[in-house]
Each structure stands twice: as C-alpha cells, then as structure tokens.
Amino acid sequence: MNGHPMNGYPQIADHGMIGDLQTAALVSGTGTIDWWCTPRFDSPSIFASLLDSERGGHCRLAVDADRVAGATVRQLYLPDTAILVTRFMAPGGVGEVADFMEPNPSATASDRHRLVRVARVVRGSLPFTLVCRPRFDYGRAPHTLTLLDDGSALFHGPRTDLHVQATAPLTLRPDGDDVVADFTLQAGETAAVVLTADSSGYHPVAPLTAGEVRDSIEACRAFWLDWLRASRYRGRWHEMVNRSAITLKLLTYAPTGAPIAAATMGLPEQIGGERNWDYRYTWIRDASLSVRALIDLGFVEEAQAFRTWLRERLEAGGTASGEPLQIMYRIDGDPHLTEEVLDHLEGYQKSGPVRAGNAAADQLQLDIYGEAADALAQAQEIGGIRGWRSFSGLLDWLADTWDRPDEGIWETRGGRQEFTYSRLMTWVAFDRGIRMATAYSRPADLVRWTGVRDTVFNQIIDRGWNPRRKAFVQHYATDVLDASLLLMPRVGFISPRDPAWLSTLDAMDGELVSDSLVYRYDPAASPDGLRGSEGTFNLCSFLYVEALARAGRLHQARYAFDKMLTYANHVGLFAEEIGPSGEQLGNFPQAFTHLALIAAAIALDEQLDQAETGGR
C-alpha cells in the first residue's frame, strides 16, 4: 500500500470503506480518513483530502512514523464484516487501528452519525499520533473549535457540528482550529476516538467509556454476520461475493432503500483528465441491476425497498427532465441535481474540474424504462392497484415515445443517437410488462404492447446488426462496438449460444478486450464529446465473463474472471476502471463493478457445475 504524504495523495485503491447505511467514509492504508460526507452520502464533505490534500480536511490515527522506523502496514476487513483494521508492524511492537460505523438500518433518516476509531497494541509498545482537521462544506466554510470541560473537542461548522471524544491515555490538544494528540500504548492497551457529526444543531454527547466502545464494535460485527446469513451463495468465490454484497449494502441508503452508484465524487477516469463526475446518487439503471444481484443472492428485503422507492418515483412525476422517470435522483427521490464546479479544490492528483451534482440528470436515456420494468417484474406483486396503474400507464406512454434518439447508457455528451442498447431495454420493458399482465391478470393493452415489443425486436435485428462486422453495434449509424450489449443474453433477447451472438462476442474480443479487460467502447471511433481517454471498464469486464460462461467458453471465462480478481484492491474493492498501468481509476468503490462481479460468479458457478456433472 502507498503512503499518504502531507502534500500528496494515496492511490484510489489504497482505501477501505466503512459506513452506517446512511453515509460512508474512506480510510487510506495509512489510517487517514480522507473522505466523509454527512449526514447523507450526497451531503457536503467534512473530510475531502482525497480531492485536495491541503484544503479538503482529514483525520489521521496511526503509529507515529516520525518515532517508529521501518513499520510495515497492512489493511484488512474482519471477515464478513465492514470493520476495517489497519495494522502496523514495527520492530518495537504490533499495533492496529479498527475503524467502523455501527449500522443504522432504520427507515428514519438521522442527523447524527458516529464514526469510531480504536487503537490498540497487541505486542510491545508503540507511539501513536492523532490529527483531526475537518474542513466543512467541501472545504469552503470556516469552523470554530471549542475544547470542552470533559476533554472532548467541538468543531462548529455551517449546519454541522463535529464532536471528537477520546479515551485515556489519549489527550486532545488544540493546533490552531484543529486538534492533535500523541500517546503511547503498551501490549494489551487500547484507546478510542469517536467522531460524532450532528446536523440538527449541537446536542451534548454522552461521556465516552471503554465499555461502550466494546459494545459498539461487537454490535457492528454481529449486524454484518447476521445480515450475511440470508445469502444463498455457496459457490467457489465465497469471500469475494460476500465482500461485494457487503459493499452494495453499504452503498444503499437505508431510509429510502435507494442504492448509490459510488461513495465518492470527482475521482478521475484519467489522471489529469476532465471525466470527473459525482456518483453519490441513485441511477435507475445501476440500482435496478444492484437489486437483481442482491435478489440472486437471497437478499429480498433490499430488493423490495428499492422497488417501493422506484414505484414512488413513478407516482411522483415532476422530474427535472420532463420524462416520467429520469436517469438519476438524489437518494430521497429529489430529481434536481444541479451540477457545480468546486474550483477551490485542485482535484485528485490535480485532476480538475471537481464537480458536485450531476448535469447528466436531465439527459434522455430510454434504457432506464427497461431496467425499471425488469426490477419491478422480479416481485410477485407490483404494489397493488395503484402501483400497476402507474406502471401500465408508463408503458402506454412509452409505446408512443420509444422511437427517439437519446444519449445512451454511457451518458455521452456528444449528441443523441439511436443507441442499440436503449432499444434493447425498450424491448425488455414491454416484454416484462406483458409477462406481468399475463401472470397476474392485470388490465393492459396487450395487443399494442406486443406490437411495440415485436417492432423493437425487428428494428434491432434489421438496424442494430452490422453485416460487415457480423455483430450488433453501438447505434444504428455506426459500426462501432459497445460492451453494454453484453447484457443481450442476460435479459433474454438472444440465446447466449446463438450464432449471431457468438460472432458479436468474437468481434468484441478483437476490438474491446485487452488481456481479458474490456473497454466500454472506443472513444476515438465514437466521439463522446469529452477530452482524454479512459481505462477498461470493470462492469464490462465482469459482464464479459458472464457472457463467456453462458456461451460455454468456460476456460476463457474462468481465466478472465480470475484475472479480474487480481485487480481488486487489498481488501477486495473495485473502482470504476482499470488504468493502463493496472491502477484503479474513477469513483470508489463502484456498485456497478461489484454487482457485475456477483452476477459473473453466479453464472460461472452454474456453468462449471453443469460441465462437471456432464450437464445433468
């Protein structure tokens, strides 16, 4: 793992994530919290040194590197939990810092969130240092510091207070408007630091005791072990699938059931480039696929919560885009995601601009109706009469409006096209609607829906298929390939062993695949309106594994899957992309990547099992 120098940045992959199901923080491999937004995932940050090492703010709790030479650092999760341990091994002893947030699965949003850091020494004696430098509102707002009579510290910022408590032998002292501490622990000793962020106005925090900290870490551990018991997965990649499931759960906002795309904003798809987006929102597409992954594992409560959220969006209307649904929302369902540039932040490794909010919210991406329909179709009911009427009304509307150019799944800013993937998911929308209406005897214009479904199917075959390439292509006016079409067999549009699909897979092998890693598309061949390049897309790499497995190409699929797993970071997490030197790029950790990992593992397990039993 890489260090965290005062004026530098750790690698994106040099982090673990902790969270309480309403917010999340990233902890670097040297014990630095360099990302935390509160009280929600999409709130302004308290710590954001990941986007500006000087102005962003951070909290570091670690063995004092100035007093301990030659320390080796390792970071790991306690198995099957979201408790992150950063371990320091030095000639003078072995110590560690455990970071966690106790999960709050309540349907009520909380203004108060608590992050716990526990330092301990298991062998010898080690000196530790604490530095807490919050910077409120993305580093734009000043704060005041008050040292309280009980030895704790209160940072007062705009709309949020941060209360820092510590147990002996840790004693806080001021450093300007920040706090620091130096302390030494012997074998068997512990010291805890608790950060309580409160956005409801300052309310006194109860005195901190060692017993309370022990109870809290045990409650956190018990929550995750109990939650994982619902998983049906018994396959070959148990540890990685469990870690991905926990990651998807950590990225889901419990009060509404809305999954976010990633915990961060502004992390670049290319160092020094401009592809730096805010992913702390709920995409209909990403969330629907996340729900499918969790359902496949057996987590039905999360799936039902999202379907409820989705039905509420259909019934609410009032989108910023003017469509019945828009591609993304805030986690509470607010459709307004005004994008602003935070030009006071230099960006990760000087990769600007840093954007908060997302202007792509008002793009036209017609595929979302198929993904929404697929998510709703996985329930045995669709929310009663009102829910069905909202959904059937959506399909009636779509029957009149589906045949339009749009911006496509990748949110390109280079103009609208007739994207094949958008048409594919339109086919899914009507296919799932017809199935539900038939299965549950619901009123629907089945003649019309069936006509549209079949028209879309024929259009894709006639115009989305390129005879020269012998492949389905990105949009009707190009011969460029697009890895989003790896979902064609998954959604049931085509058999995974159909000759037309196998030749499409062969074409992708030749153009989009690099040593089993997969690019979304070729920006040089299909300009997307943005400067710079990008790495291979982890979602697509795992979709490729699934497609290979379903096509019966098991040796190739297993090699590609095992290869992809080597790009996970030290605690099993993935960002959005893999760069040219094997580095992780983009927002982190990425739900898209982890849901696709789960789907690939399940598909590969199924196909390998069939091969081993001779197809019985």
pLDDT average, residue stretch 87-102? 96
d(CA 341, CA 413): 17
Quick one: which H or E segment has residue 477?
none
pLDDT average, residue stretch 13-38? 97
3-state secondary structure of 439: helix
pLDDT value at residue 273: 86
pLDDT value at residue 382: 67
pLDDT average, residue stretch 113-122? 97
For residue 20 the two structure tokens come to 């309480």
Tell me the pLDDT of the chain averaged across its residues.
93
pLDDT at 527 over 60: no
Q: What is the DSSP string of 182-213?
A: EEEEETT-EEEEEEEEESSS--PPPPP-HHHH
Contact partners, residue 12, CB within 8 Å, separation at least 6: 267, 348, 575, 583, 584, 585, 586, 588
For residue 406 the two structure tokens come to 């749009």
pLDDT average, residue stretch 404-418? 86
Contact partners, residue 278, CB within 8 Å, separation at least 6: 265, 266, 337, 339, 355, 356, 357, 358
- Rounded to the nearest 10 degrees, what angle do helices 284-297 and 238-250 cross at? 140
Give the pLDDT band of residue 4 (cuts 50, 70, 90): very low
Choose among 482, 451, 478: nearest CA to 466.
478
pLDDT at 384 over 80: no
d(CA 253, CA 606): 31
Amino acid at 467: P
**In this prediction, what percent of the chain has a pLDDT beyond 90?**
82
HEC profile of 238-302: HHHHHHHHHHHHHCEECCCCEECCECCECCCCCCCCCCCCECCCEEHHHHHHHHHHHHHHCCHHH
**In this prediction, what percent of the chain has a pLDDT beyond 70?**
95
Any idea which of 180-184, 206-210, 576-580 has the lowest mean pLDDT? 206-210
pLDDT at 545 over 60: yes
pLDDT at 389 over 50: yes
3-state secondary structure of 512: coil
d(CA 265, CA 285): 18
Give the pLDDT band of residue 511 (cuts 50, 70, 90): very high
Q: What is the DSSP string of 544-559?
A: HHHHHHHTT-HHHHHH
pLDDT at 7 over 50: no
Q: DSSP class of residue 306?
A: H
pLDDT average, residue stretch 463-479? 96
Give the pLDDT band of residue 614 (cuts 50, 70, 90): confident
pLDDT value at residue 356: 96
Any idea which of 214-223, 333-342, 386-395 has the lowest mean pLDDT? 386-395
Choose among 156, 189, 152: nearest CA to 172.
152
pLDDT value at residue 275: 83
Give the pLDDT band of residue 533 (cuts 50, 70, 90): low
- Counting every residue, how long is the chain? 616
d(CA 186, CA 175): 26
Q: What does pTM read for this prediction?
A: 0.95
pLDDT average, residue stretch 542-560? 97
pLDDT value at residue 6: 40
pLDDT at 531 over 60: no
pLDDT average, residue stretch 356-361? 91
pLDDT value at residue 207: 86
Give the pLDDT band of residue 111 (cuts 50, 70, 90): very high
Q: What are phi and psi of 410, to 5 degrees?
A: -90, 5
Contact partners, residue 524, CB within 8 Å, separation at least 6: none
pLDDT average, residue stretch 510-524? 88
pLDDT, tens only, 52-80: 999 999 999 999 988 998 889 999 999 99
Q: How many CB atoms lie within 10 A of CB 249?
A: 22
